[in-house]
Amino acid sequence: MTETAKPYSHEPVGLLRRMACWMYDGLLALSALMLTTLLVTVATGLTVEHPLYPAYVLLILGVAFLYFGWFWTHSGITLAMQTWRVRLVGFDGYRVTWVQALRRFVLAMSQWMLLLGGLQAWRQGLWPVAVVVALILVAGLIWTLRHPQKFMLHDRWSGTRLIRLPDHKAGQV
């Protein structure tokens, strides 16, 4: 077996390390999305009112998926995950497939959209909606904290999990 085909350890990743990866990867993905937006806007003069705007939104989602999906399916490690010593693997410990990556991306994005929808409801004074969204998100976080492998909903649904890699030893690059 080659090194990329070996199953990896089963040490789960805690919520704080996940959040650090989210923040770092979010900034990196944002730069790719900003470059895409710049190229599309300069080339086409696209605005929100333009009839092709929905296609642009799909392009942005596609670029975001390609950013994450390529790293997840090839090495299991995005740039942020490399920094925080985290790897994405399937439940079997092997590399993630494109189908697993797509499932993970869709559900993770849905959770972020739920969060943003709850924040928008709060801004507009729709307190009952904001409270329900907050309760759903808090329940998901509590479930993650109590789960023995620290699985989140998108881990479970996509058949993937994050594992901690061993820390670099002193003097090792």
Rounded to a whole number of angstroms, the distance between the first and last alpha carbons of the chain is 24
Q: How many CB atoms neighbour CB 76 within 10 A?
A: 22
User: Half-sphere exposure (CA, 13 Å, Cβ side) for 164?
Assistant: 13
Domain-wise residue ranges, the chain: 11-164
Ranges of residues in the chain whose predicted pLDDT is under 50? 1-3, 170
| Structure tokens given for 43 | 């080339």
pLDDT of residue 7: 54
pTM of the model: 0.79
